[in-house]
Structure 1
Amino acid sequence: MILGSQLAKLFLLAVLGYQAPRVTTVIPPAVPLNVVFGNTVLALAEVNEVGTVTHVRLLQGAAPFTEEAVKSISQWHFDPAHLDSHAVATEISVVMMFRPAAFGNAFVGGPSLGFTPPEVPKGDHPLLPHFIFDPGWPIARYMNPGVVVFELDITASGRVDWIRIVRDVPATADFAKDVVMQWDFTPAVVNGSPVNSRMIVAISFLFPVLHR
């Protein structure tokens, strides 16, 4: 069981006025060089009472993308979770999608760039992505390369309720935001019941390269 007793504790905190952590500083991941395919990394970031990431737990992803994800997330900072004005430690889910230097994804990672829906643990568990897909790079649309970062509020039904742009890339972020709104999630479950939750999504966009 992932988190287990900690999620049960957070349920009690929520009743008493618990507020989830909010990311304030992000360092974008470096894009691995000389890698032609893409990949999606799923991780849990442990955030302490002062908003520092103390540990990154990998749930899914392939090297060398996982190494870059851990390096990046470890440097992030948050407004920590709070209970009645008192900071508390918690965990937050992170999805990092590394797009290949291509318009599409055929032969370079597939529609989800290697992501497969994780097995949902029995009992209490954190928020998990269920259905996500590569935004692609539209041929007819102007876009800029870079890493966009979003903070998502997810409802107890697993739908995206709100997206905050944490790291903007002009033209690209708005396009990616519309795509992420279509993703589905398995909501966090606490004491046997789905609850509203929050996660971070980062997507790396590279200029497409045409191969002859």
Structure 2
Amino acid sequence: MREEMPTQLMNDCAFSYSNTVERVNKANQLTKETAVIVLDFDNLSVHCNGHEVKLSPDCFAFYSWLAQESKEFPGEGIEAPTAQMKNNELTNTRLVCMIKAVLHPSLQLNAKDIPDLYDNTKETLESINRFCPHKEHNSNQPILFLSKSNSEEFLRGELDKTDLYNKHKNLWTRLLKETNSELEKMLGKRLSSYYIIDTVRKEKMGKTNSYISYKGLNILSDNIHIKEPV
């Protein structure tokens, strides 16, 4: 049972044997058809069949982006950044979608590029900083936009093509790893396996033996919900 349990609960002395058995049984009874996820934009958290997992703003934005895509386009998924993607696709399409995904869909933002999105949501995005006090950040800039260097250039897509691609690729890799790790830590290995970001589709690259992996949620689209704002 130890392998089934979340790391946090393993360290909680108040969590009894019966609690442990109940948690494991719930994980065993869950199926792809019964797994339900709820995106909570007020608390930047996801509710996995009633179990809340709070995420950092950047991880929540990443998860929300892929979850909403999985809801609207089941089985399609999103591919990692590639060197063939143009500057505009990397920044004013993909990054805009991810940043918008940290905000409730009811806002119906119509921003088509980073500067426009930034100007229209700056105050809201800056307020998100309070959810992430453990991360180093400049209080004058939303934490979601931060990178170790050239954050403003990265935000506006003003880096050269190679540098911009590498930063997008590194961002994707980091967020995929951190988000899935947090879900496993809070839910346990088996339970989290229904909610992690995973490969939902593979596409062969021409006549080669290589494949492009598209990431998303392996949850029924009707079971992906968005909590109404408070």
| TM-score when normalising by structure 2 | 0.25
Structure number with higher relative contact order (C-alpha < 8 Å, ≥ 6 residues apart) = 2
Whose Rg is larger? 2
Between structures 1 and 2, the one with greater helix share = 2
